[in-house]
Structure 1
Amino acid sequence: MGKQSSSELPSKKMITGIYVFVLVYTVVQLLWWGLLLHQQSVQIAKYEQGALVHKMNELHHPAEFMQEMQRLHKEQQMRTFKYIGEGVIFLVLILAGAAIVYRAVWKQMKLGQQQQNFMMAVTHELKSPIAVAKLNLETLRRHKLDEEKQRKLLDATIRETNRLDQLCNNILLASQFEHRKYQPFLEHLDFSRLLKDSVEELQCRTVSHHIDSDIMPGVELQGDKFMITLMLNNLVENAIKYAPKGTNIHVKLFRSGDALKLVVSDEGEGIAQEERNKIFLKFYRIGNENTRKSKGSGLGLYLTRKIVEQHGGSITVKDNTPKGTCFEITWHDYSVQSV
């Protein structure tokens, strides 16, 4: 999560302080109400018992006096039970409502912070490739370069525009998933060939890492070509961001029993156990937004999980051997999904 600014911290503390004060004040008022009812009940009991004693002293009926005393005692017990029961119910409702409200408010504040982090990340993600592409194009326009240098600048510009294109796709697709408007275009796919072509394209765009693949041939399924390509791109580019330069990224497609598995692994530092469920949340990124060196919008893994689920699979995070992160996508009962 990103680092909270100093202007945000007092506001959150102030809101929490006001909330706790109101909650404590309400509980104290409830307890005070219970105490007043108890005192009132005791006074009523004393008054009734005094009146009964005065009445029975005049009538001189001891048996009837004892029966009336027992009746008054039971009435006092019923009053006590009534206000204690009502007080406990009100207290439970107040605490339950307070917990629900606090959770909703805290969730909203957390979402707001994540959205702010997302805007910071996206702003950086947009400005960087635009600046690089603009610089490259201005260099080509102002200077007469040899063909090799021109090709390198054009290749670099294309890589940056591809980054922009993928970022825009991620943002648009996340919005469509959020509003459940995206309908996948399912078609007959040569899954093996699609993965191989995607890995080759990613390797052409990547100079910092080596991407090797072990793709089982002949795998066919029904799927959305664009979404599956985006799924693989997000996983590989996530590995590129967090794995040290010069290390290998492995893409493997194989069959395990009745299941089909796609594994993307790297040789980075790995992901802590407590972070493995959070990384698939929208906008969530590990670390501090102000000090983080890796690029990203916090949407890649969120979209990856959505795409996998929409295609009937599941995704898990495991430790790679000897080190690194391993994303494993599983399609169970592959015989049903194959074409």
Structure 2
Amino acid sequence: MNKISFKIGLLFFLAICVLEGISMFVLHNNIIHSRVHEELSALQTRGNNHRDVLEASFHDDTVMHIAMMEARTDTQVVLTRPDGSIYMSSNKVTDEMKNIMKSKPKKVPHEGLILEEDWKNATNIASISPVVIDKKIAGYVYMFQTTQKIKDLIAGLNQHFLLASLLSLLFMMIIIIFLTRVVTHPLIQISEATKRISKGELSVSLPKLGKDEIGDLGEAIKVLANDLEILKNERNEFLASISHELRTPLTYIKGYADIARREDTIKEDKDKYLEIIHEESVKLSKLIKELFNLAKMDENSFSIEKENVHLLPFFQAIIEKVAPALKENEMSLVLECAENLYAPIDPVRFEQVIINLLENARKYSEPNTNITVSVFESEGKIHMKVQDEGKGIPTEDLPRIFERFYRVDKSRTRSLGGSGLGLSIVKQLVEAHGGTIEVISSPNVGTIFDIII
């Protein structure tokens, strides 16, 4: 065991050393590059600011003001004429600065550019910004900054990195000794279990690893494996369901479109087929919209904007919308709601909930039956019940009616061919309001959906 612990500890130490070395090197270089880039960008921006001032007011007073400003900073500004002669300088222009100015390209973009960025070897970094007045070059603004500031910063950064590296190595050695002697064995078991899970072997088993954090980790691995197996099954079922749901309307659309295109198809039949194509297109559009809504709910990217809604006119407005469809089915709808009831809900989202439940009640009820909407307060909570006298839901199906793509009617007929997403959306919207939804149903008696807010 000691040999195994030593080998694992040594390998772990070497791996961490390499990883830390690479990380430190990359981080060090990135910080230096970022800091130097910031200095260069700040210098160029400063020159562009002076350039903007001069373009707005090119006078001796303005030039002198800029020179006085820069004379009190760690940067130096030099203003030259178009021919290269110096018009103004905030401090003495050295020979190196003159050499940098001579390296000016023939064409300088208006946003300026960096002339010298070699902070390691040069004495100054430099930028140039052209002054354009009436579309003509009136001069050039050169900005210089000593590289000593950057070098001092890098030297301090190097000291911090060296100290951090030494402390990291010391701390890492202590941790490795502890890990290899105390937790190596159970971690190896957990590692082997996770490898089996990654290969698809989800029915893993682990020995009891104690009641500490490692034991909790082992239990979490078991739970994870079970959840992954459930998720895998649900994913397969979801993909199969959505594939079928998309295939069905597309099959109708393609089939009836092919028939309607035939030259021997009479106009009456074409109109009927086009109507079917339109219906299936609407269903397909609704399915995609519902999938989009579910995706937003899963990502918590949809918003609930609650307001204190007066429930009686709220439900009366909804009933007016669904009344024509109920009348067509020779069904009646009864609303039972007190006058003074209010509830904190999002009216737009909750209208979607109620209409979905009423639409289900209409589809699964026979003509000459009643749908009752009861809204009342009980024990400080608002109840909203939608009750029909329809086919009802079998007892074995009740626990799954809020699952995505689950449908009690397995025939998937065109008349009752919903997407199986409506009740799932209803449940998520109700829960987003902090409420619950319950269902009571008996075959051939009816169904009651009770929303509690």
8 Å contact from structure 2 (residues 361, 371) kept in 1: no
Aligned residue for 2:439, secondary structure, equals strand
Separation (CA, whole Å) in 2 of partners of 1:305 and 1:249: 26
Out of 271, 275, 293, the position equivalent to 2:411 is 293
1:272 aligns with 2:395: yes
> Given the superposition, is the C-alpha separation of residues 16 and 124 from structure 1 closer, same or farther in structure 2, using an over 3 Å criterion?
closer
* Structure 1 residue 261: Cα displacement: 1.8
8 Å contact from structure 1 (residues 202, 233) kept in 2: no
Q: Corresponding residue for 1:45?
A: none
Separation (CA, whole Å) in 2 of partners of 1:132 and 1:202: 26
8 Å contact from structure 1 (residues 267, 320) kept in 2: no
Aligned residue for 2:201, secondary structure, equals helix
Q: Corresponding residue for 1:307?
A: 429
Listed one character per residue, the Cα deviations across residues 117-138 of structure 1 (whole Å, up to 9, x for unaligned) are: 1111111111111221233333
Q: Corresponding residue for 2:318?
A: 194
Structure 1 residues without counterparts, runs of 5 or longer: 1-10, 28-89, 332-339
Opposite residue 201 of structure 2, the aligned amino acid is I
Q: Corresponding residue for 1:15?
A: 201
Mean CA deviation greater in 305-314 or 180-189: 180-189
Q: Corresponding residue for 1:92?
A: 211
Q: Corresponding residue for 1:84?
A: none
8 Å contact from structure 2 (residues 427, 436) kept in 1: yes
Listed one character per residue, the Cα deviations across residues 240-286 of structure 1 (whole Å, up to 9, x for unaligned) are: 78x5x85777542233346352414353352437953x5435x3737
> Given the superposition, is the C-alpha separation of residues 194 and 274 from structure 1 closer, same or farther in structure 2, using an over 3 Å criterion?
closer
> Given the superposition, is the C-alpha separation of residues 323 and 124 from structure 1 closer, same or farther in structure 2, using an over 3 Å criterion?
same
Over aligned residues, Cα RMSD in angstroms? 4.2
Opposite residue 299 of structure 1, the aligned amino acid is L
TM-score by length of 1: 0.55
Separation (CA, whole Å) in 2 of partners of 1:198 and 1:254: 16
8 Å contact from structure 1 (residues 121, 296) kept in 2: no
Aligned residue for 1:268, secondary structure, equals coil
Separation (CA, whole Å) in 1 of partners of 2:444 and 2:252: 36
8 Å contact from structure 1 (residues 261, 329) kept in 2: yes
Separation (CA, whole Å) in 1 of partners of 2:215 and 2:344: 50
8 Å contact from structure 1 (residues 263, 328) kept in 2: yes
8 Å contact from structure 2 (residues 392, 442) kept in 1: no
8 Å contact from structure 2 (residues 392, 441) kept in 1: no
- Between structures 1 and 2, the one with greater helix share: 1
Out of 79, 90, 109, the position equivalent to 2:229 is 109
Alignment of 1:75-90 (within 5 A): 90=209
Q: Corresponding residue for 1:71?
A: none
Alignment of 1:140-219 (within 5 A): 140-142=260-262, 143-147=264-268, 149-184=269-304, 190-198=314-322, 200-201=324-325, 212-216=332-336
Opposite residue 168 of structure 1, the aligned amino acid is I
Listed one character per residue, the Cα deviations across residues 9-42 of structure 1 (whole Å, up to 9, x for unaligned) are: xx99x8255x22xx24xx5xxxxxxxxxxxxxxx
Q: Corresponding residue for 1:326?
A: 448
Opposite residue 256 of structure 1, the aligned amino acid is F
Structure 2 residues without counterparts, runs of 5 or longer: 1-196
- Between structures 1 and 2, the one with greater strand share: 2
Separation (CA, whole Å) in 2 of partners of 1:140 and 1:284: 31
8 Å contact from structure 1 (residues 126, 164) kept in 2: yes
Aligned residues: 242
Separation (CA, whole Å) in 2 of partners of 1:136 and 1:203: 30
Out of 302, 317, 324, the position equivalent to 2:439 is 317
Q: Corresponding residue for 2:65?
A: none
8 Å contact from structure 1 (residues 212, 251) kept in 2: yes
Listed one character per residue, the Cα deviations across residues 90-116 of structure 1 (whole Å, up to 9, x for unaligned) are: 533465433322122211221221122
Mean CA deviation greater in 163-172 or 256-265: 256-265
Larger radius of gyration: 2
Separation (CA, whole Å) in 1 of partners of 2:306 and 2:282: 24
- If asked which structure has higher relative contact order (CA below 8 Å, sep 6+), I would say 1
> Given the superposition, is the C-alpha separation of residues 260 and 15 from structure 1 closer, same or farther in structure 2, using an over 3 Å criterion?
closer
* Structure 1 residue 315: Cα displacement: 1.4
* Structure 1 residue 182: Cα displacement: 1.0
Listed one character per residue, the Cα deviations across residues 170-214 of structure 1 (whole Å, up to 9, x for unaligned) are: 11111111111112467887432223313534776xxxx765422
Listed one character per residue, the Cα deviations across residues 30-85 of structure 1 (whole Å, up to 9, x for unaligned) are: xxxxxxxxxxxxxxxxxxxxxxxxxxxxxxxxxxxxxxxxxxxxxxxxxxxxxxxx
8 Å contact from structure 2 (residues 306, 344) kept in 1: yes
Separation (CA, whole Å) in 1 of partners of 2:258 and 2:327: 27
Listed one character per residue, the Cα deviations across residues 132-168 of structure 1 (whole Å, up to 9, x for unaligned) are: 1233333333355345x45543433332222112211
